Amino acid sequence: MRFVLDNSVVMRWLFVDGSRADKEYSIGILSLLEDIENQAVTPSIWPLEVANVLARGESQGLLTEARSAEFSGLLERMAIQVEVDTSAHAVGSIQQLARRFNLSSYDASYLDLALRNGIPLATIDKELMRAAGKTAVKVVSV
Q: What is the pTM of this model?
A: 0.93
* Conformational region of residue 16, where left means phi above 0, alpha means psi within -120 to 50, and beta covers everything else: left
Over the stretch 40-75, which tens digit does the pLDDT of each residue have? 999 999 999 999 999 999 999 999 999 999 999 999
The CATH H-level (homologous superfamily) assignment of domain 2-133 is 5'-nuclease (3.40.50.1010)
Residue 32: band (very low, low, confident or very high) from pLDDT cuts 50, 70, 90: very high
- 107-119 mean pLDDT: 96
Provide the pLDDT for residue 87.
Answer: 78
Domain ranges of the chain: 2-133
pLDDT at 113 over 80: yes
73-102 mean pLDDT? 90
> Is the predicted pLDDT of residue 11 greater than 80, yes or no?
yes
Q: Under 8 Å CB-to-CB from 85, ≥6 apart: which residues? A: 44
What's the pLDDT score for residue 76? 92
85: nearest Cα among 52, 121, 109: 109
Rounded Cα gap, residues 7 and 40, in angstroms: 11
Average pLDDT, rounded, for the chain: 94
For 43-62, letters b (16+ CB in 10 Å) and e give: bbbbbebbeebbeebeeeee
DSSP string, 7-62: HHHHHHHHH--S-HHHHHHHHHHHHHHTSTT-EEEE-TTHHHHHHHHHHHHHHTTS
2-5 and 121-122 strand pairing: parallel
DSSP secondary structure string, 95-112? HHHHHHHT--HHHHHHHH
Q: Give the pLDDT of residue 41.
A: 98
| Over residues 77-101, mean pLDDT | 89
In this prediction, residue 88 carries a pLDDT of: 76
